[in-house]
Structure 1
Amino acid sequence: MSASLHRISGYDRAAYRAVARLSTPALDEPIRRVSDFANFSKLWFVVAGALAVFGGPRGRRAAVTGLTAIGATSLVVNQPIKKLTGERLRPDRRGLGVPVQRWVRMPASGSFPSGHSASAAAFAVAVGGVLPGLRPALRVTASVIAFSRVYTGVHYPSDVLVGVTIGALFGRLTGRLALRRWPPSEPNEKEHTS
C-alpha cells in the first residue's frame, strides 16, 4: 500500500511540474484572475444571480439547485474529508518551479481535495441537469477553474481530480432531486436554456 501511494505521489508531482513548466505567459494573468474570482464561489453566485433574474422560473430553480449543490459539497469537502485525509500540505510552488507571476494567495487549509474544483463541478453539473442548454458553457468554465488551481500552484492534480469527482457526484444528486421536485414538463413554463 505504501509503495502504491508513493508511486501515485510521484506521478502527481510529475504532472504538477509539467504544468509549472508550461510556457504560456499570456495565460498567467487571466488564469490567475479566474482562480481568484472563484474564491468563496463568487463566480457561481454571480451566475446564479443572473439565472434568477433573467432565467424565469426554471432559471430560479437552477440557481437554487446549483447553490444547494455548492453548499452540500463545501460542507463535506471542507469538513470531514479534509480532516480525515490528514490535512495534506500544499505544494511547494517555489521548489517545484511554478513561475511567481502565476501565484495566487496560498490557502491556509489542507490541499486535499480541492474545494474550488469541487464547488465548480457541483454547480456546473447541478445547473446543467436543470438547464441542459447551459451544460457545455458551465462545464468549460468549471474545467478552467479546476485547471487554474494547478496552474497557479495551490493544488496537486490529484487534489483537483478528487475535488471534481466529489463535486460532480453532489451536483448530479442535487440536480436529480431538483428535477424530481420540479419536473421540466410543467405546463405554461418557458424553457430558458441559453
Structure 2
Amino acid sequence: MLDRPARGQRTPRGLMRDLTALDQALYEAVTVTSTPELDSALRRLSAAADHSKISFAAAGLLALFPGRPRRAAVLGVAAIAVASASANLLGKRLVRRARPLRAADSPFPGRHVPMPESASFPSGHTASAVAFAAAVGPALPAATVPLGLLACAVGYSRVHTGVHYPGDVLAGAVLGTGAAAMVLATAGHWEKSGRLRLSPGAPTRR
C-alpha cells in the first residue's frame, strides 16, 4: 500500500493549492479596494512599461554620458533582453497559466488596461523592469533606489490593473534578478579576459 501523508502533513500538491488560493485572494483583495487617486497613475505606468519603453528611455538617457552611465545602460539593456526572452519564450510557454478573470461588473473598470493574449505566468513587464534595475544598480549605484522603486511600481501596477496575479509578479521579479546576475557575471568575465570593454580603462585584447 502507498503511504499516506500523516495528519497535518501537506503534500506538494496540497501546498500548491494553498499557494494558488492565497494568490487568488491577494489579487481579489486588490480588485475590490477603492484607490481612485492611484488608478489613473498606475494604469498609465503599466501601459508605459509595455515593451520596456520606460527602461529603454532611461537607458537612452544614460547612454548620453560616457563612462559608468553608458556602461550601466548597456548592461541594463542586455539584462532586459535575457529577462524578456526567458519570460516570454520559456516561462509563459511552459507554465501557461490563464490570466485573471476580470468581472464584467468590476466596481473600478477605469483602472484596467487591455488584457494581453499571452499566458499570465510570469510577468514579463516585471521581469524586464527588475532586470534593468538590478543590472544598472551595481554599475551606477546612484540609480539603484529610483530604478528599484520604479520596478516595484511597475510590478504592482500589473496586479492593480487586473492583468496579473501577485504570484506572477513575484516570479517575474525573481526571473529579472537572475537575468541581471547572469549578465553582470558574464560581462565581468569578458571584461577581465579582455574580450569586452564597457568601462574606461578596461583592458582590450589585440
Give TM-score, length-normalised by structure 1: 0.89
**Superposition deviation, residue 167 in structure 1:** 0.3
- Structure 2: which amino acid aligns with 1:23? S
Instruction: Work out the CA distance in 2 between the residues paired with 1:8 and 1:95.
Output: 26
Q: Does 1:51 align with 2:62?
A: yes
- SS of the residue aligned with 1:56? coil
- What is residue 31 of structure 2 aligned with on the other side? 20
Residue type of the partner of 1:71? A
Separation (CA, whole Å) in 2 of partners of 1:128 and 1:134: 6
Shift of 1:58: 1.6
**Alpha-carbon distance in 1 for matches of 2:107, 2:115:** 13
Q: Deviations over 1:20-51 (max 9, x none)?
A: 12221011011000000000011111000000
Tell me the SS of whatever aligns to 1:77: helix
Q: Indicate whether 1:40 and 2:40 are aligned.
A: no
User: 8 Å contact 1:121–1:164 — kept in the other structure?
Assistant: yes
Partners of 1:186 and 1:98 lie apart in 2 by 58
Contact 2:34 2:108 in 1 (8 A): no
Match of residue 8 from structure 2 = none
- TM-score, with structure 2 as normaliser: 0.84
Partner of 1:90: 99
Distance 2:105 2:84 in 1: 28
Unaligned runs of 5+ in 1: 188-194
Are residue 132 (structure 1) and residue 152 (structure 2) matched?
Answer: no
Q: CA deviation at 1:171?
A: 1.1
CA RMSD of aligned residues (A): 1.9
Tell me the distance in 2 between the aligned counterparts of 1:49 and 1:110: 30
Query: In 2, Cα distance between the equivalents of 1:131 and 1:178?
Result: 15
Do the aligned partners of 1:48 and 1:63 also contact (CA within 8 Å) in 2?
A: yes
**1:74 maps to what in 2?**
84
Instruction: Measure how far apart 1:179 and its partner are.
Output: 4.2
Give the drift of 1:97. 4.7
Asked if the contact 2:76–2:132 (Cα under 8 Å) also holds between the matched residues in 1, the reply is yes
Structure with the greater relative contact order (CA < 8 A, sep ≥ 6): 1 or 2? Answer: 1
Give structure 2 stretches of 5+ with no counterpart: 1-11, 192-196
| Identity rate, percent | 42
Alignment match, 2:40: 29
SS in 1 for 2:67: helix
Please say if residues 91 and 153 of structure 1, whose CA atoms lie closer than 8 Å, have aligned partners that are also in contact. yes
Partner of 1:61: 71
